A = this chain, B = another copy of it.
Amino acid sequence: MSSHPFAETPEPPYVAVIFTSVRTPGDNGYAVMSASMDALAREQPGFLGIESAREGVGITVSYWADQAAARGWKQVAAHLVAQRRGRDVWYADYRVRVATVEREYGPESSSLDGEH
């Protein structure tokens, strides 16, 4: 994870994969897997950035150039997780939502104060 907290994404449209999860108790190899997944994601074609936080629930949003890039990552990630039989070991539950980002704002966008 870079020291910059936000993904530096281009002008929309691009694709966001919102991965929300609840962990199982214990590490069970999760920390190592998570770091290697992160590193692997950054090597994929079409990778734009990733943002992640865990506080009870974990939310990881990865950003991709297009739907094909997001699908490519899904296949790589699924293969890796299947190899390690990790899904049921690491996650009590999860949701994945694939979305097309249409607008992006920051503090410089005067029209956008606090879309919380």
Contact = CB atoms under 8 A, between A and B. Distances in A.
A74 B112 contact: yes
A68 to B, nearest CB: 14
Given A20-B6, A104-B96, A115 B77 contact: yes
A58 B53 CA distance: 7
A107 B24 CA distance: 14
Interface residues of A, number: 57
Contacts of A98: 101-104, 115
A87 B101 contact: no
Interface in A34-68: 34, 37, 41, 51-62
A95 B61 CA distance: 13
B96 A99 contact: no
A80 B87 CA distance: 41
Given A18-B18, A115-B17, A116-B60, A94 B77 contact: no
B5 A115 contact: no
Contacts of A37: 116
A103 to B, nearest CB: 4
